[in-house]
Chains A and B, each alone.
Chain A
């Protein structure tokens, strides 16, 4: 029973990353009807930006011999990195996706993939092959709750992820910008006629999605401190699968499916030998998609490809 609960906690943590990244995919899909394959690498870049910000803040406070409490440092890191990474998202939209708005969607997907590759190898070229270690902002404190070991990091990760998701939900449901984004997701050709320009909403969507990915990246860096330029590939593609599983365009679905994917992976590793993890997790996903092709909350849009 302890073992089971321990894995539930692990799955919640692991799923938070998928959920935060999948949210970015879902938001962009609901508005622009295209998948942003650069998102995994934006997550990676956001993590490196977080590394830079955290190291900078630590050096700054050491130089001024202030000592900021760990949680404040974490909040500052997350906020500043989210801000910086949102610019990256806007640039990717402007350079990569805006010229291809009328092009077949496959071309936009390929462009996204290529920009992602450029980000990975650009990172490798600029920072070299040495793996960087994310600085420790918060000391790990382990709590023993009746046989189950919780670290404050795990609680923090799940907590911050849920907080961000609730904040996103509030933003989309209650604010005017959120209303504009929801309207755009219904019909991106007619809504601009009503005065809401796609050229404003699309960068905004990318910015929010990238900011969430950066937050996910910093949380990931806290949990697994070794950074490498290719970390975005696997997480990115798996979050893409989660976004589709939740139903394309559905934000709630993306979050839930992200957690579900985390649960599937952790529990598969719990029961089967861990080398079978990918095999069984993807077979389960394949089965789910065969029987529910549009994901959990997705609607059957027209299957016409815009080719």
Chain B
């Protein structure tokens, strides 16, 4: 009797502790979390090496120790200790201690125009990323690829989530954007064996980069017309085929155009995908797409998805809506493709095939349809899991699909689906 009472009380107290932690974490505003994470990465920057040596780790763990642990399982406890000391404890302690004044600051910020608050938070987030990626080039590349994945996932969510199509054409849009922006930059700025001498000085480059990206996006949008126009007459499964055919056509067309490299691909783009550029691109993408889906046009997408005939009867111009959705999604996929091309600096048609399609679909369906938060969650999770499991080689591609199948069975529309992205609520005071 006594032992069961003890065990009941111990599980009760465990639940109490968990709910206490949850409640105390819930009152921390975004500002508090960002400041806590900034302190954590600063601690890692200054004390990481000495701490690693003290804990018998070969070096500062690159991705929270996961790669290290998978290669040498015996250092698991030390890696966990490192993560706790460097990341978990500082974030928790600073976030909890600063609850008072960060909430007051957030309340004060909510009284001035919101763009000030947004810029402040973005600046803090960028500082976090900047310090974190100082440690190694690998981290820098992982961070950039994750941000590009966020852009891609957002753009496909516009078509697959908000408009409810099953579109397999996204690698095609990405390829068009990558190649178009690469051709622009190579043509104008680089001494290149394909295009001859540079036409403009390279110092003008970083100013021109956004223009090149927009050109890439525009080319992708024009290509999207090939998918958008048949979509007026067909929906659902037939559109899936048309978009699939489009992807194969783009891939095959690029492979056959010898001047831009054919199957061997195009390389040597100038390295303009710096962290600030990609970060700015991602922030702009989230902002613009969020505004788009909250506008009347975005609601029109949802209406066309739910019942096209009823939407038509309610004065929604279904043709224009479908066209805009495809072109808009394709534009951002093209921009993401442009960033990707200037990051990896060698693109081949083969990298925009079924494998890429499977990855993009995994990201958007894992994260959640019809939600900006879901796209971000999905892109970051799948990219991180993909990087973390890299030492496992091809078992990675058995584990990731398994995770996705489980998510599909238990939450068929994704983890965070149909959720609104309300900046005011996210940045606001929590107490």
Chain A contact residues, CB within 8 Å of chain B? 35, 96, 99-100, 103-111, 113-115, 117-118, 120-122, 124-125, 233, 237, 240-241, 244-245, 248, 275-279, 282-283, 285-286, 289-290, 293-295, 303-305, 307
Contacts and interface: CB of A to CB of B under 8 A. Distances in A.
Contact of A35 (B164, B237, B401, B408): B237
Contacts of B398: 118, 121-122, 125
B260 interface: no
Given A104-B413, A121-B397, A293-B230, 7 more contacts: A110-B408, A111-B409, A120-B397, A282-B245, A286-B245, A289-B238, A307-B305
A305 B231 CA distance: 14
A241 B236 CA distance: 14
Interface string B245-260: 1101101110110000
Contacts of A121: 394-395, 397-398
Interface in B360-414: 361-362, 365, 369, 394-395, 397-398, 401-402, 404-405, 408-409, 412-413
Contacts of A110: 361-362, 365, 404, 408
B160 interface: yes
Interface residues of B, number: 47
B164 A307 contact: yes
Contacts of A233: 354
A114 B412 contact: no
Contacts of A275: 252, 255-256
A289 B253 contact: no
Contact of A276 (B229, B235, B252): B252
A237 B413 contact: no
A19 B74 CA distance: 53
A265 to B, nearest CB: 12
A279 B256 contact: yes
B405 A111 contact: yes
A111 B407 CA distance: 9
Contacts of B395: 121, 125
A108 B365 CA distance: 11
Contacts of B402: 114, 118
A114 B245 contact: no
Given A307-B164, A307-B306, A294 B405 contact: no
A279 B252 contact: yes
B237 to A, nearest CB: 6
Nearest to B229: A290
Contacts of A124: 394
Interface of B: 160, 164, 166, 226, 229-230, 233-238, 240-242, 244-246, 248-249, 251-253, 255-256, 305-308, 354, 358, 361-362, 365, 369, 394-395, 397-398, 401-402, 404-405, 408-409, 412-413
A4 to B, nearest CB: 25
Contacts of A244: 237-238, 241
A16 to B, nearest CB: 21
Given A107-B412, A114-B405, A275-B256, A289 B242 contact: yes
Nearest to A233: B354
B164 A113 contact: no
Contact of B409 (A99, A240, A245, A305): A99
Given A100-B408, A117-B358, A303-B236, A240 B241 contact: yes
B248 A118 contact: no
Given A125-B394, A305-B305, A293 B164 contact: no
12 contacts: A103-B408, A110-B404, A110-B408, A114-B402, A278-B248, A279-B248, A279-B252, A282-B249, A286-B245, A286-B246, A303-B308, A305-B236
Most buried by B among A35, A107, A248, A276: A107
Interface of A is mostly: helix
A241 B234 contact: no
A277 B404 CA distance: 34
B255 to A, nearest CB: 7
Nearest to A118: B401
Given A117-B358, A290-B230, A282 B252 contact: yes
Nearest to A95: B405
B405 A293 contact: no
A121 B400 CA distance: 11
Nearest to A106: B166
B298 to A, nearest CB: 16
B234 A106 contact: no
A285 B241 CA distance: 9
B235 A303 contact: yes
A283 B249 contact: yes
B243 to A, nearest CB: 10
A2 B308 CA distance: 53
Contacts of A293: 230, 233-234, 238
B401 A114 contact: yes
Contacts of B242: 286, 289-290
Most buried by A among B166, B241, B395, B402: B241
B409 A114 contact: no
B412 A115 contact: no
A282 B248 contact: yes
Contacts of A237: 244, 354
A48 to B, nearest CB: 16
B274 to A, nearest CB: 34
Contacts of A248: 237
Contact of A106 (B160, B255, B307, B409): B160
Contacts of A109: 166, 240
Most buried by B among A35, A121, A125: A121
Contact of A114 (B226, B235, B404): B404
A276 B252 CA distance: 7
A305 B235 contact: yes
A113 B248 contact: no
Contacts of A303: 234-236, 308
Contacts of B307: 304
Contact of A111 (B245, B358, B408): B408
A137 B246 CA distance: 40
A122 B248 CA distance: 26
B236 A289 contact: no
B272 to A, nearest CB: 31
A196 to B, nearest CB: 25
Contacts of A289: 230, 234, 238, 241-242, 245
9 nearest A-B residue pairs (beta carbon)? A103-B412, A114-B401, A279-B252, A107-B412, A278-B252, A121-B397, A293-B234, A282-B245, A303-B235
Contacts of A111: 404-405, 408-409
A224 B152 CA distance: 38
Contacts of B246: 282, 286
